[in-house]
């Protein structure tokens, strides 16, 4: 396709732009119509030899790493390297079409990737192309013309109170060094990284509160502190008296560890640290919990289930959806509703009776 771009205002020379289209003559004519419409509306026409591979690498460095959590950057980088670049990285960015994206999604599904994984790949690519449009490298997002795979969300079945209480009792009776951390996870519903990133500066044992302002996570560089997962993740969580007492006892034990370690202890102010005061690897907490669960005959209970468990108990106690959402630090109340809507104490019987009552008193002909 040859586009007439008018004349250069300085040299008055005629400007033309050549665009290659792979396909039929009809496809080229459709592309020409689209490009002429862009010229008429003042949009720039994509050009250059920048490939999808080049842009994805640039996008990760400029748009993701500085502004997103390290864990998110690592996850996106893995998706880009393993699934996007091998299949569409060679295509010129300006030439990327919906058909390329559809072929990619079909290939991933054919390789056995779960729908949620395929959807995440699609989301990452969409974000990268959206950034390219903002940089005026593209005029359209090829992902928009594709259909996301249907992701079936499995129903969350939280563990029973008996199971969780048994695991915590086993940890306490055995004097497990991570008992206080596991207790705090179960009694606050906080995320694992939020508890491991907690420092004493943000613990108020007098008022019975903890303030979540950061999270500890793993990255390719090692353990790193970062912001909470969501904006609402920065929050104050109220504690019950039993949890306050657990933290007070833990604080005393930590002071003894500092004395025994003498100069080898690095005081980073962490509420939960190893015997030398250093951050605890999150997987260490997960493995410890799984080991305790097996010992108590509750091996089916996973560490992250403590978060679901906390929410389910609050709903059983008729706490509001908004209150639970704020306590858990969800991005929005709709997230909480999507995850735990089936746990909400319903007014279904009341609604059924109200409907039946209205039908019994329905107006009859002539009234």
Residue with tokens 């005629």: 14
CA distance between the termini of the chain = 73
Can you name the residues that pair with 51 across neighbouring β-strands? 92
Q: What is the pLDDT of residue 193?
A: 94
Please list the ranges in the chain whose pLDDT falls under 70: 5-10, 14-18, 38-48, 154, 345-348, 362-367
Q: What is the pLDDT of residue 131?
A: 93
Can you name the residues that pair with 2 across neighbouring β-strands? 18
What three-state secondary structure class fits 216?
strand
Are the C-beta atoms of 183 and 246 separated by less than 8 Å?
yes
Q: Is the overall model pTM greater than 0.75, yes or no?
A: no
- Per-residue pLDDT of 39-53, as tens digits, reads 666 555 555 578 899
Q: What is the pLDDT of residue 39?
A: 65
Q: What is the pLDDT of residue 41?
A: 61
CA distance 75 to 350: 46
Q: Any alpha helices (H) in the chain, and if so which ranges?
A: 25-40, 52-59, 70-79, 85-88, 98-110, 115-134, 161-173, 179-188, 192-196, 241-261, 282-295, 305-316, 321-328, 333-340, 348-360
CA distances (Å), origin 97, targets 25, 102, 336: 16, 9, 36
Residue with tokens 């190893």: 274
Instruction: Give the contacts of 28 (CB within 8 A, at least 6 positions apart).
Output: 1, 21
* pLDDT, mean over the chain: 87
Q: What is the pLDDT of residue 259?
A: 87
Are the C-beta atoms of 201 and 269 separated by less than 8 Å?
yes
| Cβ burial, residue 130 (10 Å; 0-12/13-18/19+) | middle
Cα-only R_g, the chain: 28
Q: What is the pLDDT of residue 253?
A: 93
- Per-residue pLDDT of 325-338, as tens digits, reads 999 999 899 888 88
């Amino acid at each position: 396709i040859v586009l007439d771009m008018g004349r250069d205002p300085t040299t008055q020379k005629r400007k033309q732009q050549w665009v290659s289209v792979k396909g039929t003559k009809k496809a080229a004519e459709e592309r020409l119509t689209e490009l002429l419409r862009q010229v008429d509306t003042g949009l720039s026409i994509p050009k250059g030899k920048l490939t999808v591979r080049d842009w994805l690498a640039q996008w990760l460095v400029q748009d993701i790493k500085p502004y997103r959590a390290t864990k998110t950057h690592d996850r996106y980088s893995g998706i880009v390297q393993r699934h996007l670049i091998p299949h569409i990285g060679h295509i010129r960015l300006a030439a990327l079409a919906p058909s390329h994206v559809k072929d990619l999604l079909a290939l991933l599904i054919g390789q056995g990737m779960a729908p949620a994984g395929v959807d995440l790949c699609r989301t990452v690519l969409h974000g990268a192309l959206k950034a390219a449009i903002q940089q005026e490298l593209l005029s359209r997002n090829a992902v928009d013309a594709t259909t996301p795979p249907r992701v079936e969300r499995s129903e969350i079945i939280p563990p029973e109170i008996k199971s969780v209480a048994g695991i915590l009792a086993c940890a306490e009776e055995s004097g497990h060094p991570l008992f206080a951390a596991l207790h705090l996870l179960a009694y606050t519903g906080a995320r694992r990284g939020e508890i491991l990133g907690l420092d004493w500066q943000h613990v108020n044992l007098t008022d019975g509160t903890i303030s979540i302002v950061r999270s500890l996570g793993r990255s390719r560089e090692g353990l790193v502190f970062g912001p909470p997962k969501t904006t609402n993740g920065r929050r104050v969580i109220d504690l019950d008296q039993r949890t306050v007492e657990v933290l007070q006892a833990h604080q005393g034990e930590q002071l003894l560890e500092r004395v025994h370690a003498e100069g080898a202890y690095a005081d980073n102010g962490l509420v939960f640290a190893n015997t030398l005061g250093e951050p605890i690897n999150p997987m260490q907490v997960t493995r410890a919990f799984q080991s305790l669960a097996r010992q108590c005959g509750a091996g089916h209970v996973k560490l992250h289930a403590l978060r679901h468990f906390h929410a389910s108990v609050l709903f059983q106690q008729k706490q509001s959806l908004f209150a639970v959402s704020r306590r858990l630090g969800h991005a929005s109340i709709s997230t909480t509703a999507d995850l735990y809507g089936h746990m909400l104490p319903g007014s279904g019987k009341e609604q059924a009776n109200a409907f039946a009552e209205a039908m019994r008193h329905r107006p009859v002909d002539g009234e």
